[in-house]
Amino acid sequence: MLGSIGFLYYKEKIATIDRYCGVSMENMAMQIKMDILNNKDINPLFDDVERLRIALYDKNKKAIVSNLTTKKIDFEQTNYSNTTSAFFISSFIKPKGGIKYIIIEDSKVSNQMVQLQSLIWTIFFMASLFITFIGYLLSRLLLKPVKENFAILNHFIKDSAHELNTPVTALMMSANYLKKSYDKEMVEHMLMSSKMISEVYNSISYLAFHDLDIEEKEEFDLAELINDSIKYFKEIAHNKEITIEAKLTPYIINMDKNSIKKLINNLITNAIKYSYTNKNIYITLKNNIFKITDEGVGISKKDKKKIFQRYKRINNKNGGGFGIGLDIVRGICKSNSIKILLDSEIKKGSTFTLIFPQEKKSLVKSKK
C-alpha cells in the first residue's frame, strides 16, 4: 500500500515538475525570440545559469553560442528530457541573424527529481519502521494470551502425568503384593486407585469429546444418582479419613444422566480433594436444591470467579488436581440451566449449591 501511494505521488510530482519546466522554458524561449526579432541584446541572459541555460544554433545545427551542459541535442523534438536535464527547442521559420534554433535547458530538474525520490524513500523507510514497530507491539499483545495458554497447557500436561502417577504406582505396588498373598486392604487400595484414574480419564475425555457427545434426556431420581456417587467415592474418602453424611429426598428430573453424573462426581471429588483430613462432607438434596459442604481450605473472595476457569487452580498444595473439574461443573450447569452458587471461607470450608430448574407440570382435567 505504501509503495502504491509513493509511486502515485512520485508520478504526480514528476508531471507537475514537467509542466512547470515546460512553461518556464517556453516563456524564456519566447522572450529570447522577441528580443532577437527586436534586435535587443540577449548576452546578459547567458550570464544567468542558476536554472535555465541557453543556446543558439544556425540552420546547420551548429552552435553559435551556448552555455548548455551537453552538446547532444535532439532537434526532432520540441520538449524532452534526459537523465540530467529538460530541454525545450524553438525555431524561426526563417533564420534571423543566422540564428535558426533557440535551445533552453533546465539543468535543475534532475536535482528536483533526485530530491523527490530521496524524500519518498525516506518517508517510506520511516513509515516501514513505524509499521514494523506497531506490528511488533500488536504481535506481542495478541500472542500474549497464546503464550499464556501454551504455558497453562504445559503445566496441565505435567500435572496430568503427576496426577496419574500416584494411582498407577499404587496399583502396581498392590498388584505385586497380591502375587505373594491376598490382602483385603490391598484390594481396596487397588479399587481406589482405579477409580481415581477413571475420574481423571472421564474429566479429560469430557473436555476433549463433549462436543461430539449426543445428550439423551431421561427421567431419573437425582437422589438415587447422588447416593450411587457417594458409594463410588467411599474408598477415596476413607483414605483421607473423611466421612460423607448425606440427607437426600427423592427428586425426579429429566436431563442427560451421564452429564449430571459427571456434575455430581466432580463436586464430590473436589470436596474430598480440598477437605482437611479427618473431617466431614455434608450432602443434602431437598426438592430441587442440592448442597455439598466440605470442611477444607476454602476459597477467598477474589478467587471465587477464577476457580470456574479452565486449568485455574487456587490451592495447588491441597489434594492435587489440575483445574478442570469446576470448569466441567460450570459447563454442565450452563447447558442445563442449573444455577450454581458458592459460599466459602478460608480455612473453614466451601458450600456449592445447585438449583435445578423446576419443570412445569401440565394439569390435564378429565371431561366427564
Same domain, 138 and 265: no
Residue 190 lies in a domain: yes
Q: How far is CA 315 from the centre of its chain?
A: 29
Per-residue pLDDT tens digits for 144-185: 777 777 776 666 666 665 566 667 666 666 666 665 666 666
At 159 the pLDDT is 63
**Of all residues in the chain, what percent carry a pLDDT higher than 90?**
21
| Whole-angstrom distance, CA of residue 294 vs CA of residue 348 | 8
Q: What is residue 51's DSSP assignment? A: S
Summarised one tens digit per residue, pLDDT across range 318-349 is 545 556 778 888 889 998 999 999 999 998 99
3-state DSSP assignment of residue 18: helix
How confident is the model over 279-294, as pLDDT tens digits?
999 999 998 999 999 9
- For residue 342, give the nearest of 331, 352, 329 by alpha carbon: 352
User: Which one of 172, 196, 214 terminates a domain?
Assistant: 214
Q: What is the arrangement of strands in the sheet containing 339-345, beginning at the earlier edge strand?
A: 243-248, 280-286, 289-294, 349-355, 339-345
Q: Are residues 261 and 345 in the same domain?
A: yes
How many angstroms from the chain centroid is the CA of residue 193? 41
Do 275 and 191 reside in the same domain of the chain? no
pLDDT range class, residue 302, cuts 50, 70, 90:
confident
Please tell me whether residues 249 and 192 are part of one structural domain: no
Say if residue 316 is in the same domain as residue 219: yes
Are residues 239 and 210 located together in one domain of the fold? Answer: no
Stated as kind and residue range, the H or E segment containing 353 is strand 349-355
Question: How many domains does the structure of the chain reveal?
Answer: 3
In a domain, 366, yes or no: no
58 and 184 together in one domain: no
Nearest to residue 105, comparing CAs of 121, 81, 129? 81
pLDDT at 286: 93
Residue 184 lies in a domain: yes
Does residue 218 come out as left (phi exceeding 0), alpha (psi in the -120 to 50 range) or beta?
beta
pLDDT tens digits, residue range 62-103? 988 888 878 888 888 887 777 677 888 888 888 888 888 988
Tell me what pLDDT residue 299 has: 87
Q: Is 17 within a domain?
A: yes
40 close to 54: Cβ distance less than 8 angstroms:
no
Q: What is the CATH number of the domain that holds 225?
A: 3.30.565.10
367 domain-assigned: no
Domain boundaries, position 192: 132-214
